[in-house]
Amino acid sequence: MGSAVFLRKLAKVFCVLLSAPSAFAQTVDPATKDLLAEFDITVTAGAAAGYVPDATCAMCHSDKAESFKQVGMGKSFHKPGRATVIEDFENNHYYHAPSDRHYEMELRGEDYWFIRYQIAPDGVQINRFEQKVDWVLGSGHHSRVYLYRTNDGLMYQLPLAWYTQDSKWAMAPGFEFFDQTGVLREVKRRCMACHNAFPDVPAGSDNEGQPDTFPVDLPQGIGCQRCHGPGANHVAIAISGEAELDEIHAAIVQPAKLPRDQLYSICYGCHMQPSVAIPSPLRMGRGIYSFRPGELVSDYKVFLDIEDMTRAKQDRFDINHHPYRLEQSECFLQSEGQLGCLNCHDPHVKLPAEQRAEHYRNACLSCHETTAAGLPLLRAAEKNHPALGDNPDCTSCHMPERRTQDVIEVTMTDHRIQIPRPQDDPTARIAKEPAVVGGVSIYDKTLNLSPSEALIYKTMGILDYTGGRDSGASDALRRTLNAQSVPQATPWAKLSKSLLQRDMPAQALQAGERALRYSPSHPQVLGLMGAAHTKLGNIDAAQSLFRQVADGGPGQADKRFNLALLLAYLKDYDGALAQAHQALEERHTLWPAWRLIGDLQKEKGALESSARAYKEALAVEPRAPQLRQKLAEVLQTLGRGAEAKRYLP
């Protein structure tokens, strides 16, 4: 590109940047994109606009980029491969007694392969399921879990995990019991929004109720721009070579220069999680990828806390409880906002183990006075701090390692600063005991919500926790929405789902219609309304809605399966089989589609095809007792009695 053309483009870029309302504006001028394209730098558009590859940041900030690679955030999400192996693939077998399933993870070339199977009474493997791992989630500092992607763009977590502290394979969190989701735990965008950098996806696709689809190509790890904001404008100015340093700095968020509330909104956006049981809902109207450094996290989401009937608040300790526990500390309360994450942590650097004791001690002594002997001065004059050895570590007593209650295979630093008391070993193994929610509250008491707004957020959280089945929350949400005429699709969609779960299809349709006023093509709502019409016997209306959603975009294989069910009900077996097979091409683990194929092939007398389909379904969902019985009956009819016995209880 000629210098004159370059300068004209650059001048246009400067005009755009200097008129931008803030460094974290979500729009990127086409001239900026054109300019960066000349340097082979891509820029995201859509729901998360203005992000450049993290390798671009390293062009100028190589030292920070290199050190950040060792930080957990820098290794949070990546493709599997031999170069990053930390797992033991020699001792790769794990047996889970509650579900009577065997698990293995194999390294085949550069690929990880997950295997699960059961052993029949005669010693033969049955219900064998194999799946290539597409993504590794987790830095490996404590653990790693493994994900696969289906053709329709959904992502699922596999049930086996690697735990680094004990160098072992075991069940991933939430899979410890018999009643688990197996290979069908869907990974939500809300989860990935904290575990990885934002992907390049269409505008509006990150809105609540849209399918949780992911592109094939994703960023690998939480990058620089999650804390500094979209970098396209900043890079365009920097590479020009014509800008003053102040202009370059003004085009990117510098967290250290933000007011405290905005600064810690960056950390709290992902690390403040009062409850694993009830995720904190987004503010109505916000997209999942819409948070930008420099704004308040309270404008993005509403933090919900719970009353756990199994343990008191001061005893609750989950793996992501760092600020939640810190804010319970007397040190935090007395600091009047001065104590926070960055007093101890540099997000760019993983502190070497041999430096941690001195580093954290210096952080403590920046507030705490010492005696002439160099011991921390206690508030109670009659008490003396115990003598300390060489290079003492304050955190080992006052912020001890403790086993987390939601991820029982790991221990983490408890950030609730406390006076040590005699107790059992806090790192000792514990049994998994999920929370039992007895109440829900707004965590931030200063949040300016009206009583009706607060009720809407709390009831939506309860309905998420109960799968829509809590009648009290459902009725309260219904009354509030009708009284306030809330002009947002999300609460009406959650109400529609709840009413359908409660077998109130006519009322579910009414709530769905209200949701469609504010989001006319809302795929989740259209699917819910199709299910409601099915319950009401309106087959033509249901079929039309399922077909509309299934053909409307990715992530809707389940709606195509619903269409197949309706066609089977109408005795259109060929049409039903075609839709079921297409659903499986889109989502190969949609086991009810295999079950339907097995039923239809049996109806047509194609018993071998029926048996194969039932086996495919059981490989994905081996718990289905009726399915096992169906397969055994078909095998008996085929004269394969010994094989049939393998599938009977």
Task: Mark whether 149 and 174 lie in a shared domain.
Answer: yes
Percentage of the chain exceeding pLDDT 90? 86
Residues with Cβ within 8 Å of residue 254, at least 6 apart in sequence? 228
Going by their DSSP bridges, the two strands 125-132 and 135-137 should be labelled as unpaired
Residue 14 in domain: yes
* Residue 109 structure tokens: 């070339």
- Write the DSSP symbol of residue 357: H
Task: Mark whether 92 and 191 lie in a shared domain.
Answer: yes
* Residue 125 structure tokens: 């493997």
Task: Mark whether 596 and 649 lie in a shared domain.
Answer: yes
Residue 368 in domain: no
Task: Mark whether 561 and 529 lie in a shared domain.
Answer: no
d(CA 161, CA 103): 10
Residue 263: exposed, middle, or buried by beta-carbon count in 10 A (0-12, 13-18, 19+)?
A: buried
| Confidence at 28, pLDDT banded by 50, 70, 90 | confident
Q: How many residues does the chain have?
A: 649
* Residue 514 structure tokens: 């209200």
- pLDDT tens digits for range 259-275: 999 999 999 999 999 99
Please report how many Cα atoms fall inside a 13 Å half-sphere around the Cα of residue 512, on the Cβ side. Answer: 25
CB 330 within 8 A of CB 415: no
Average pLDDT over residues 470-498: 95
pLDDT at position 109 over 70? yes
Domain closes at, from 232, 253, 274: 253
* Residue 173 structure tokens: 């969190």
CB 162 within 8 A of CB 87: yes
CA distances from 425 to 318, 329, 401, 411 (A): 17, 21, 10, 12
Task: Mark whether 174 and 100 lie in a shared domain.
Answer: yes
Task: Mark whether 550 and 649 lie in a shared domain.
Answer: yes
Task: Mark whether 581 and 513 lie in a shared domain.
Answer: no
CA nearest to 127, candidates 646, 526, 521, 535: 646
User: Which contiguous run of DSSP H or E holds residue 408?
Assistant: none
Answer positive or negative: Cα dihedral of 462, 467, 471, 477: positive
What is the residue whose two structure tokens read 């721009």? Answer: 225
In this prediction the pTM is 0.93
pLDDT at position 1 over 50? no
- pLDDT tens digits for range 494-525: 999 999 999 999 999 999 999 999 999 999 99
Residues facing 520 on adjacent strands: none
Task: Mark whether 483 and 548 lie in a shared domain.
Answer: no
Please report how the helices 505-518 and 523-535 are oriented relative to each other, as an axis angle in degrees rounded to 10.
Answer: 160
- pLDDT tens digits for range 304-323: 999 999 999 999 999 999 99
Going by their DSSP bridges, the two strands 304-308 and 143-149 should be labelled as unpaired
pLDDT at position 174 over 70? yes
Rounded to the nearest 10°, the torsion over CA 403, 409, 412, 416 is -30
CA nearest to 32, candidates 47, 54, 50: 50
CB 41 within 8 A of CB 52: yes
Residue-number span of the structural domain to which 7 is assigned = 3-61+224-253
CATH of the domain at 464: 1.25.40.10
CA nearest to 318, candidates 190, 228, 433, 446: 433
pLDDT of residue 377: 82
CB atoms within 10 A of CB 454: 15
Percentage of the chain exceeding pLDDT 70? 96
Cα-based angle 628, 607, 584 (whole degrees, multiple of 5): 70
- pLDDT tens digits for range 619-649: 999 998 899 999 999 999 999 999 999 999 8
Residue 415 in domain: no
Task: Mark whether 89 and 50 lie in a shared domain.
Answer: no
Domain closes at, from 514, 537, 560: 537
The SS3 of residue 296 is: coil
Residue 311 in domain: no
Task: Mark whether 94 and 191 lie in a shared domain.
Answer: yes
Residues facing 126 on adjacent strands: 118
Residue 270 in domain: no
Task: Mark whether 135 and 242 lie in a shared domain.
Answer: no
Task: Mark whether 572 and 624 lie in a shared domain.
Answer: yes
Domain closes at, from 510, 537, 564: 537
- Count the domains in the chain: 4
d(CA 158, CA 168): 16
Residue 216 in domain: no
d(CA 462, CA 472): 10
- Residue type at 226? R
Residue 559 in domain: yes
CA nearest to 615, candidates 102, 225, 218, 125: 125
- pLDDT tens digits for range 558-599: 999 999 999 999 999 999 999 999 999 999 999 999 999 999
Residue 336 in domain: no
- pLDDT tens digits for range 49-91: 999 999 999 999 999 999 999 999 999 999 999 999 999 999 9
